[in-house]
Structure 1
């Protein structure tokens, strides 16, 4: 308590004058007598404590401390002798002390106050005549900052914030730490150029200029250096913001490293494909699906046709006149345009020198980059066809006038003389319904026992059917039978099987 000889402000007219001056201020003002009693508070100060009268604040500093609990923004309690009202009584001069104010008995703070002190002295007295506590309610500002802090930390997009006056990072979120592998304390207090967020940026000079001016930095690619070595490709952008009274720059990032890895893997895959394509002993070409323009040919294709890459790439096959006739070309192109791949299709092509080449043509739809393409493969069977013709002619010469040969032998010789094409060779119609059932189950991967159970027939019956199928279509293995069937669009799926009469009756 103050000395009894001290002339208290309450005994003067000055208090009334002070009240008249400060009554309408937006800031809260509490007047404190040097004897530690609370003299008066304006309406703003009372509202900032949720009370209607000075008596509710407490008659003395001790009572005020008992009714209101204070803590700092870092959640530490304010000690009794550190209360702003206690410090002003002790004669401390301070400004912008920020505290959270909680009514005694409550669990959570109700207000955030920014407090400064003022000591009034009489002109002829060394001792203070009045102590003043000036309060601003900054609850809304700090609530907004808390919401921003929560949003910033929860945002999965990597981000950092730097002050513009010294370019030091003041905030970093978890997304940035996870993307780069930095620790939080490795980032905070470092500058934009210590951890260079604009490293290798496409328009680095523009970014530095905008950063110095506190203006928006447009999106651009950059490479962040990682603490463990290596770099990470990102898109970085900067947006000026204010944090408290300090101008700052918010940097946000989009991680492009997965895209770079995917592009690298695709590039390596395409390089491997290109090497394999060029080294393949089979004549091959790549063409655009739209327009049938050739994009690439390999060395084997050049050796077969005589056309080098510069003579044929970029030209449609119809213009090159690769096919023997326009009818063959139109039929093949119509199949490809209809979304069908060719398998073992016999056709004749013409070499650059005009020679006719018998080929088996196969195609496969592929994608190169963003384009839909067709991979062509050609198998030269000219020599084989010539050998077959010579063989048939020799047999016919020997068998001339041998009318006693059976009709079946003569039919077979006729078929050798005029080989069947894909369309008039053995087909599915040459098989009985039961043989088609067996073939369907073979295509589904079933063994003889499973086929027998499925069709409710004996195992020997299945084996007999399989032998007849092999004989009719000219194969001797299951895998060859499956290939024959699939080449004719028959895979066994969706086929309605005809069970035996015994099962049907049951």
Structure 2
């Protein structure tokens, strides 16, 4: 503490009276302090900012003021005695815009937020301080509003960040943004808008950059945020200019579109898989609208079975195409569909484009495609089976008449029943390479890919490549279909001599 004898004082002087007249009506609070650390005077604004009515309640000295009012910084750090603005100005410290929270002694919560600056009035003759001045602004309302904004900003589940416009650095980030991106708070607050590029791949990026530079509203647009793990996230981003602490800023808000993108991708892949399966299915299939029984799609097997090209049958009711063998049969089936019933192995006869009668087992399933109620039709051609059954009955009758026909006729019929004749223009065993026949033989024996690889002493990828080529050549897409194809040609793999056996490999 500097002895009071070293200062010239304004106490009870004309200069003090004049000074009081000048500042009495100011909106800012003003406290005049004598160099001997006594409080000379305070205007009405300063008294109101401390909740007192006269100078005595404010405190006669710096020590009394400190005892009656406890000050702390905005980070809740309490000020030590020497850090009080009133102590600093007495010590000759010059400062501006020191922000403190003011609590009345005995209370727990602060009542006001003050922004304080200092002023030293020197004597004109020897430049010694004659009066010390604290100038106070009550900024409680501003900081209360900022606190409310801070709480709302942090509690808002919508992801958001705020950047300063003068350097484009992020100054605030809420929990929603951290959870959406996986960033850490400290990692965001030290970066700029382009370090963590919130406009990356934006469909109107140039416009957004222009608006950001001008401090204007940035309209909504889709963008892809780069994530810390190297991935990206599809979002909608928009920017709104705001002021924070008298600094122009930009508030960026986001909507996470990643769930939508994943759902759309899953739906697209599902539809693609359905389309591939539908088209590659060896069973004749068609998709029709439940209302009106219009065909929307048919697969290749259906075209092969009926002889109708897709352009000749799609978009037409089955009744107009005259697909069903009889009108009564068509009415029966359509009535079942209209009644909400699915068919399972319903025996019916359809008519091909050339007029040929085809015996089928018809099955249906109600499905939804693009929000429309549809019917999936499946037709199993049993014409050959029924013909074989008739031939078998005829053969048995022939045997009953003449047993000499048994070995020559019945056995042939039974063989045909067990392994129906395949199309003669399809692939044959001679179309397979020796190695492919080896692989097919092991498939017929029930070996899986790993066991085949061990048996042939080759890599698993090599086996899978062979299997894919076999499927492509013989026109199947499943193991059981490949086995059926081989056995229909008298090839069951049991008699095939295959390089090294599994036992030799194990040895």
- TM-score for both structures, normalised by structure 1: 0.73
Distance 1:326 1:133, change over 3 A: farther
Q: Does 1:80 align with 2:56?
A: no
Cα distance in structure 2, aligned partners of 1:225 and 1:194: 10
Residues 359-374 of structure 1 mapped to structure 2, 5 A cutoff: 359-374=360-375
Secondary structure of the structure 2 residue equivalent to 1:11: coil
Cα distance in structure 2, aligned partners of 1:335 and 1:205: 60
Cα distance in structure 2, aligned partners of 1:206 and 1:5: 65
Q: Does 1:173 align with 2:174?
A: yes
Q: Report the count of equivalent residues.
A: 399
In the alignment, which residue of structure 2 is the partner of 1:342?
343
Cα distance in structure 2, aligned partners of 1:335 and 1:213: 68
Deviation at 1:185, TM superposition (A): 1.2
Q: Deviations over 1:339-390 (max 9, x none)?
A: 2222222333221122222322111012234333221001223344455667
Distance 1:220 1:326, change over 3 A: farther
Cα distance in structure 2, aligned partners of 1:43 and 1:326: 103
Distance 1:203 1:144, change over 3 A: same
Secondary structure of the structure 2 residue equivalent to 1:202: coil
Distance 1:241 1:327, change over 3 A: farther
In the alignment, which residue of structure 2 is the partner of 1:66?
67
Deviation at 1:60, TM superposition (A): 0.9
Residues 23-172 of structure 1 mapped to structure 2, 5 A cutoff: 23-172=24-173
In the alignment, which residue of structure 1 is the partner of 2:224?
223
Cα distance in structure 1, aligned partners of 2:345 and 2:249: 69
Alpha carbons 2:4, 2:35 under 8 Å: kept: no
In the alignment, which residue of structure 1 is the partner of 2:188?
187
Cα distance in structure 2, aligned partners of 1:342 and 1:98: 81
Deviation at 1:87, TM superposition (A): 1.5
In the alignment, which residue of structure 2 is the partner of 1:427?
none
Deviation at 1:135, TM superposition (A): 0.8
Q: Deviations over 1:273-332 (max 9, x none)?
A: 222222222111122334433232112111110123333333333343323345544443
Cα distance in structure 1, aligned partners of 2:252 and 2:332: 59
Instruction: Provide the alpha-carbon RMSD of the alignment.
Output: 2.5
- Runs of 5+ consecutive residues of structure 1 not aligned to the other structure: 400-506
- Runs of 5+ consecutive residues of structure 2 not aligned to the other structure: 401-507
Q: Which moved more, 1:284-293 or 1:133-142?
A: 284-293
Cα distance in structure 1, aligned partners of 2:324 and 2:123: 114
Residues 389-428 of structure 1 mapped to structure 2, 5 A cutoff: none
Secondary structure of the structure 2 residue equivalent to 1:295: strand
In the alignment, which residue of structure 2 is the partner of 1:293?
294
- TM-score for both structures, normalised by structure 2: 0.73
Alpha carbons 2:8, 2:123 under 8 Å: kept: no
Q: Deviations over 1:86-133 (max 9, x none)?
A: 111222222111001111222221111011112223433411222211
Cα distance in structure 1, aligned partners of 2:243 and 2:331: 69
Cα distance in structure 1, aligned partners of 2:338 and 2:243: 60
Distance 1:3 1:382, change over 3 A: closer
Q: Does 1:302 align with 2:306?
A: no
Cα distance in structure 2, aligned partners of 1:317 and 1:63: 101
Secondary structure of the structure 2 residue equivalent to 1:250: strand
Secondary structure of the structure 2 residue equivalent to 1:9: coil
Cα distance in structure 2, aligned partners of 1:180 and 1:320: 57
